[in-house]
Amino acid sequence: MALANIGNLQNLEDNYRKNLINSFTGFKSVSLLGSIDEKGMSNLAIFSQIIHVGAHPPLIGILFRPPTVKRGTLENILNTKFFTINHIREDFYQEAHQTSARYEESEFDACGLEEEYLNDFPAPFVKEAYVKASASYVSHYEIKENGTIFLIAELQQLYIPEEALGEDGFIALETAGTITCTGLDTYHRTTKIARLSYAKPGKKLEIIG
């Protein structure tokens, strides 16, 4: 396999570098974040920068771009403290991608996704999503190197298709229809290779699922 060696990353053309660095970081979690402003207008936006921070308490981290222009989702979360996370399925990945356009109105109507309110939680869910959660703001850290914001949130309630939820808590995301993305604009479905046993020195791995 012939490998291209790319150095001097700072000197690359802007768009080339953006595609390159965004795709180098690999396959990503991609979700729709639902929020609401203080006047009651809903907002829906696609994010691929969500990671697991801890299980106990159940914390996630979301990286937001610098708040130098209006960032509806970030402002709403800072103001109201509540939002939802909705996994994307292939059935509505184009509607999900379309939420990245700059709308003045709610992206739910503009992009053709249905707003849903569950268990008196104040922020809107995506009705079409099968895997979703309510979450609340905990804190945030400014990344001084480039002004991005790493926001910590706590998961409140999860909604998971019964057929995708294992006895040990593992979620079979393929069964639930969740997809993944690379770079800024490319979507992929997945096929399980295997689930592996816990690794210990000198012990042969087993395929457990």
Q: Quick one: 38 or 162, whose CB is closer to a second copy? A: 162
Residue 193 vs residues 12, 122, 149, 155, 207: alpha-carbon distances, Å? 36, 39, 35, 28, 10
CA dihedral 189, 195, 201, 203 (to 10 degrees): -140
Instruction: Find the binder of a second copy among 41, 109, 112, 196 (CB under 8 A).
Output: 196
Q: Hey, which residues between 153 and 182 contact a second copy (CB under 8 A)?
A: 155-163, 165-166, 168-171, 173-174, 178-180, 182
Asked if 152 touches a second copy (CB under 8 A), the answer is yes
Query: How many whole angstroms separate alpha carbon 208 and alpha carbon 115?
Result: 38
Using the rule CB under 8 A, give the single segment among 15-23, 35-43, 75-83 that binds a second copy. 15-23
Asked if 136 touches a second copy (CB under 8 A), the answer is no
> If you search the block for the tokens 């998961």, which residue do you land on?
155
**C-beta of residue 84 within 8 angstroms of C-beta of residue 67:** no
Asked if 120 touches a second copy (CB under 8 A), the answer is no
Asked if 193 touches a second copy (CB under 8 A), the answer is yes
